[in-house]
Structure 1
Amino acid sequence: MPIPVVCPGCKARFSVSEKWAGKQGPCPKCKTVITIPEPIEGEVEVHVPEQFASGGRDSKGRPVSKPIARKETKLTATLIAAVVGSSLLVIVLAFAVRFLPETAQLPAVTVGLCLVSPALAVAGYTFLRDDELEPYRGRALLIRATLCGLGYAALWGAFWPLPAYGILTGEPWQWLFIAPVFVGVGAGISFACLDLDFGSAAMHYCFYLVVTVLLRFAVGFPPLWALGGNSSF
């Protein structure tokens, strides 16, 4: 094993064979006489067996371990068609609610909101999730998206008393205080349910809010900024 040597004269560093241990010789640069030190006793060198150098091999010499392949989540034509088709269906149903009796509109909208909210949570998650993290799929995604969507729907329920009890009177400046609260709570819901960073979580809720406001317009409810006083959903 080579022995590291430092010249006391020019401070040059080099290695010599262990057969010169304990002997003297001139430095190849400044010719200062150097005494080669003895090898360090008790030094342990660990040699990894060849069969374990690459993760282990079986009796036939084939690697035992294999790298975990990363699955890319891509939008397929079938998925895009399903999203577009379901979106058109939801819009048609929203317009159909207009022809229901007034007493049946709010229950129909409530049921529809609870059904469409998890789907919107999944749709927003597909393009706002972190590509560096393994995405949720299958049952795990279904459970998390359902919890997130129902949480978003509950925010609409929390918004309902504001105009009814005179808290929201139709003044534009009131939205400077109301909107940040709802966006912050909505971002917290998607942050907890879908593991999005807080910025993406806020965008996720805003995406949901924009879609549901458009559906609200399709149903025929008054715009949010017109709510106040005796106006209602």
Structure 2
Amino acid sequence: MPIQVTCPKCLKRFQVSDKFAGKTGPCPNCKSQLKVPDKSEEVTIHVPDDGAPKDRTGKSVLKPIKRKETDVTKKGLLITGGAILAAIAVAVGMRLTGGLPLAGLILGAIAIAPPLVWAGYSFVHDSELEPYVGPELRNRVLICSVLFAALWLLYAFIPSYLFDLEAPSEMSYLVFGIIFSVMLVIGAFISVAAFELEFASGLAHAGLYLIATILLGVIAGVTFAGVIPV
């Protein structure tokens, strides 16, 4: 069996027959004299045993675990896109018929939440972690959707209570910005708790929903702030 030899001078690696074990000879590359190690000095590196059951050839009989992905599918895109288009159509219809009341805005926020929450999670989840799929994903999406929609209760009641307003739309743009920021931060914590996201990803997840609902409200003719009371 050949012996692996490394020249200490030029670091050239080569093999020699085991009959030269322990003998001295020239390096085929730099011609310097070197000693061929004995067989007892040869180091053999063994592959560590993984403890898995093996067949007659020594190969593992266990199949590797395939990673589940929750990337955006064609069906999911169609459902999400259809829901958004339907929401836009309803918003346009409401605008043409005189605007959307606050109750309608809240109902719309609830209806549009599940597809936006699902689509948002598909984009912001950590690809290094095993994603939620199936019933577990559905349940988390529904819980997160309800809590996201409930954020609009902060807009609907807190400013009116604190500043004695007749309607939330009478708040200033500064107050609306503060309320929106509070809603965004709370929404981020909801996303983190529901989907185990990083906080930055939670902000993006909640922001997608809040901005989408605001845009739909604007399309429907909702004025969120800046109305001067008569």
Q: Normalising by the residue count of structure 1, what TM-score does the alignment of the two structures yield? A: 0.64
Task: Show the 5 A alignment for 1:40-119.
Answer: 40=40, 46=46, 51-53=57-59, 55-56=60-61, 65=63, 68=66, 73-76=72-75, 79=79, 82-83=82-83, 86-87=86-87, 90-91=90-91, 106=103, 110=106, 113-119=109-115
RMSD: 4.3
Query: In structure 2, what residue type is equivalent to 1:165?
Result: L
Distance 2:82 2:90 in 1: 12
| Structure 1: stretches of 5+ with no match in the other structure | 57-63
Distance 2:84 2:109 in 1: 18
Where does residue 170 of structure 1 map in the other structure? 171
Cα deviation for residue 151 of structure 1 reads 1.7
Where does residue 132 of structure 2 map in the other structure? 136
Q: 2:158 aligns with which of 156, 161, 165?
A: 161
Alpha carbons of structure 1 residues 121 and 227: separation in structure 2 relative to 1, 3 Å: farther
Distance 2:45 2:99 in 1: 84
Cα deviation for residue 38 of structure 1 reads 1.3
Report if the CA contact (8 A) 1:183-1:205 is conserved: yes
Where does residue 124 of structure 1 map in the other structure? 120
Does 1:192 pair with 2:190?
no
| Structure 2: stretches of 5+ with no match in the other structure | 50-54
- Percent pairwise identity: 26
Q: How many residues align?
A: 215
Distance 2:116 2:31 in 1: 80
SS of the equivalent of 1:224 reads: coil
Query: In structure 2, what residue type is equivalent to 1:118?
Result: P
Query: In structure 1, what residue type is equivalent to 2:87?
Result: S
Report if the CA contact (8 A) 1:94-1:215 is conserved: no
Compare relative contact order (CA 8 Å, sep 6+) and give the higher one, 1 or 2.
2
Query: In structure 1, what residue type is equivalent to 2:66?
Result: I
Report if the CA contact (8 A) 1:3-1:17 is conserved: no
Query: In structure 1, what residue type is equivalent to 2:171?
Result: G
Q: Normalising by the residue count of structure 2, what TM-score does the alignment of the two structures yield? A: 0.65
Query: In structure 1, what residue type is equivalent to 2:224?
Result: L
Cα deviation for residue 220 of structure 1 reads 6.1
